[in-house]
Chain A
C-alpha cells in the first residue's frame, strides 16, 4: 500500500530555528501525506519537539515556510494551528490535573448554553461519542489526576479530535506507556489514519517505527538527514542514520563477579499516595558487582519500592540494610551520603531543579562539602569547572554548563542526572527507568556506564518497564507483581516468555 499517491496535507520548507547558542532546526523540509503515519527519529536534542512546536504555533520559525493543505500559513499561536486542523499531544501532557476529562477536553473551545455558561453534560456526551467512535476508552466525568498515564494520553487524543484535528502530532507518546498501552495506541493510530487523519509520530523506539510508520524522517543536529521506508530499513540502519555511526543495540558485558550483599531488604511494606499497600512484603538482596533488574508492568509497586529505598517515602514496616547499617527511613541526604546513587523515575520532579544551571544541578547532592564548599561558602569555580567537565564527558548537548536545566531536551536532562550520580563514589546504584525517552546512542552510552559501575564493584538495582532493558542489563531478574517479588531468575533462565508470564501474574505456568 503506497500512500505517496495521497495528497500532501502538511509541508515544512526550509524551516530554521535558533535558540540562544543553539541551532535547533536547520533548513528542515518535511512532507506529510494524507492518511499516513510519518515517524520522526532523532537523537536527544536533534530538534524534533522544536519542529513540532512550530507546526503547532507555539514557537515561530526564524526562516522557512509552513504549508497546510496547499496554503501557506503563518501560525502565530496554537489557536491558528487548531483552526487549521492541527492537534498535538505533547511530550509532557498538557492536562489540568484537578479538572475532569470533559472540562479538559473542551477547555479553550467550550460548549456553552449561551451567555458563557458551560454545557458540561453536552461536553461529556461529545467526549463519550468520540471515545466510542475511535475506541478511546475513557470516563468523561473522571478527574484527570486519578487516571493512569495511558488514559491521560487518550484524553489528549480526544482533545485533538474534539477540535476536529486531521493532522495529529504525537511527541513521544509511548515513552511513558506500558507495552500493552503502546499496542493499544498503535491500534488507535491505525484506526485514525483509516479515517483520513494524518499523523506525525515521534519515538526513540526503533521497533515501533518499523511496525507502524509509512515514512520515516530522521533528524540529526537540527538537520533532516534522510527519509526512509520501513520496508527497506532495519533497526540498525535507522540507528546509524540517527547517530551517524554504528550503534550496538544490545548490551555488551562480561560475566558478573558478585561478592558481598550491599543492599538487603527484609519484608518491606510500603503504602502508596492513596494509603493502600503498594509494596506488600518484599525481601531481596543486591550484591556488590552484580546488576539486579526488576521487571514488571508499571504500577505493581516498583515506584514505591524505589522511593522507600531512597528515603523519599516512609516504609510501613520491614527493614532496608546498606551493608551493616539499617537505613530504613533515613533521610535522602543521609542515604546519599552513605554512597547510594539514584536515577529517579521522574526526572522533572525528582531529578533536577529546572531553573538552576547544569553546573549547579550536577552538585545537588554534594554542593555543601569540599571541594565544592569550604566552611559554608560555595566555591563557584570548582562547581563550574566540574560542570564543564561532566558536560563534555557525558556528551550533554547544551550551549554551556551555565544553561538552565529546563532548556535542555528530555534526553539531555537525563544525561545530566546520570552524570551527577555517576560522578561520585557509590556503593549502590538505584536506577529507575534510566533510559526513558532516551535516543539509542545515549541508551548505549548509559547502559555501558551502568555495566562499568558494576565492574567497579557497585551493586546495581535497575527498575525498568522495558523488558528488553531489564533482560539486557541484569545478571539476575526479579519480577514484581502486585507488590510482591514473585520470582528471581538468573539471567540465563530469564527468557522473554517466562518473564512475560510472571509479569502477568501467572506464576504456576512460568515455573511449570
Chain B
C-alpha cells in the first residue's frame, strides 16, 4: 500500500507519473544514503537517527492535524496542544517520581499528556462544532491559552525523573546502518511509526475512516445516510488530540528531559505543513516529516562538525522548507472539500 493508491482525488494520469516520481525519488535517496555511509559511516548514522528523532513529534502532530481535517475541522491549535501536554506530562512525572517506581511515573506522565491533548481537542470541537466559532480563531485560542498557562505555572529548575530509554530490538539492531537508525529507538519513536500505518489503514480501510472522510468531504451526504456529522467531528478531534498529546509527552519525557517555555518551537505549525505536503495521508505525511526531520538533523550534524556554515542559515532550514512547501504545494494539494465549514442540518 503506497500513498499514491489512496489519494483517490487524483486523476489516473497523474497517478501513474506520481508513482514513477516517488519510486525514482526513493531509489535516489537510497543511493545517496549508501554513498554517504561508505564515505562517513558515523556521521551518516547519526544524521539518519536524528532524522527519525526529529520526525517523531512532527508526524504525531501531522496525524493529529489530518484526523481532524479529514472530518472537516481545521486544527491550528496543535502547537498549543503539544505544549500543554508537554508541560502536564512533565509536571506529573516530576510530582509522581519520588513516590513510585520510575517506569510507572514516566508511563503516567505520558498518559496524562495524552489525556490533556484529548481534553484540548474536546475544547476545540466544542468551539467549532457546538459554538460554530471560526475554526482558525478556535485554534488560536488554544495556542494562546497553552502558552499563557504553561508560562505562568512554569517553575525553573525542575527536571524529570529519568527519561524514556532507548531499547534495541534484538538482533535487528545489529544490522549495519539500519539497525541503529530504525531498531534502537525509544518507545514513542517506535509507537509513532506504528501509528502511521495504523492510521493509514484505519482511514482507508475501516468504517471509521469511510465515515470520517465522508463527513469531511460532503457532510450532508453523510447526514442523509444517518451518520451524525457532529458526533463524528467531536470524536475525531478528540482522538486527534491524543496524538498531539503524545507528541508533547515525547518532547519532555523522551527527547529533552525537562520543560522550557515555548519549547514546541513551532513544531505544531510545521506539522501542519507536513500534513499538507503529505496530502492529508499518513504515509505521505510520514515522508514529509522525515524530510523536515532530516533538515533539522543535518543542521545539528553540521553545527557539530564545526563546518564553515553560519548557524543562522542551518538553523532556519526547517522553517525555510516550510515556506517553500506551503508556497509550492499547498495550492496544488486538494484538502477535504468541507474543511473549515460548520455543518447546519436544518
Contact = CB atoms under 8 A, between A and B. Distances in A.
Contact of B207 (A82, A104, A116, A274): A116
B220 interface: yes
A116 B220 contact: no
Contact of B222 (A82, A90, A100, A108): A108
B220 A94 contact: yes
A397 to B, nearest CB: 20
A117 B205 contact: yes
A316 interface: no
B265 interface: no
Contact of A112 (B9, B207, B218, B337): B207
B208 interface: yes
Q: Which of A98, A112, A143 has the most CB of B within 10 A?
A: A98
B346 A100 contact: no
A231 to B, nearest CB: 35
Given A59-B346, A103-B210, A82 B225 contact: yes
Contacts of A107: 210-211, 214, 221-222, 225, 227
A374 to B, nearest CB: 31
A115 B211 CA distance: 15
Interface residues of A, number: 31
Nearest to B201: A117
A401 B224 CA distance: 30
A429 interface: no
Contact of B218 (A77, A78, A97, A120): A97
A120 B214 CA distance: 16
B8 A79 contact: no
Contacts of B206: 116-118
B224 A98 contact: no
A272 to B, nearest CB: 13
A88 B224 contact: yes
Given A110-B210, A116-B207, A98 B8 contact: yes
A121 to B, nearest CB: 12
B233 to A, nearest CB: 16
A112 B223 CA distance: 20
B226 A78 contact: yes
Nearest to A109: B225
A504 interface: no
A96 interface: yes
A79 B209 CA distance: 20
A30 interface: no
Given A107-B210, A118-B210, A100 B8 contact: yes
Nearest to B7: A98
B12 to A, nearest CB: 9
Interface in B225-244: 225-227
B161 interface: no
B254 interface: no
A95 interface: yes
A97 B220 CA distance: 12
Nearest to A146: B11
A289 to B, nearest CB: 44
A78 B217 contact: no
Contact of A97 (B217, B225, B227, B346): B217
Contacts of B221: 94-96, 104, 107
Interface in A55-76: 56, 58-59
Interface string A413-424: 000000000000
Contacts of A143: 8
Contacts of A118: 205-207, 209-210
Q: Which of A56, A88, A103 has the most CB of B within 10 A?
A: A103
Contacts of A99: 8, 210, 213-214, 217
A58 B346 contact: yes
A117 B204 CA distance: 9
A82 B214 CA distance: 18
- Listed residue (B9, B213, B220, B224) with the most chain A CB atoms within 10 angstroms of its CB: B224
A58 B207 CA distance: 23
Nearest to B227: A108
A107 B208 CA distance: 10
A88 to B, nearest CB: 7
B208 A116 contact: yes
Nearest to A53: B346
Contacts of B225: 78, 82, 94, 107-109, 159
A98 B217 contact: yes
A99 B214 CA distance: 8
B227 to A, nearest CB: 5
Contacts of B345: 58
A98 to B, nearest CB: 5
B205 A97 contact: no
Contacts of A78: 223-226
Given A98-B217, A112-B207, 19 more contacts: A58-B223, A58-B345, A94-B220, A94-B224, A96-B213, A96-B217, A96-B218, A97-B217, A99-B213, A107-B211, A108-B211, A108-B226, A109-B225, A110-B210, A117-B205, A117-B207, A118-B206, A120-B205, A143-B8
18 contacts: A79-B226, A95-B221, A96-B218, A96-B222, A97-B218, A97-B337, A98-B213, A99-B214, A103-B210, A107-B210, A107-B225, A108-B211, A110-B207, A116-B206, A116-B208, A117-B206, A118-B205, A159-B225
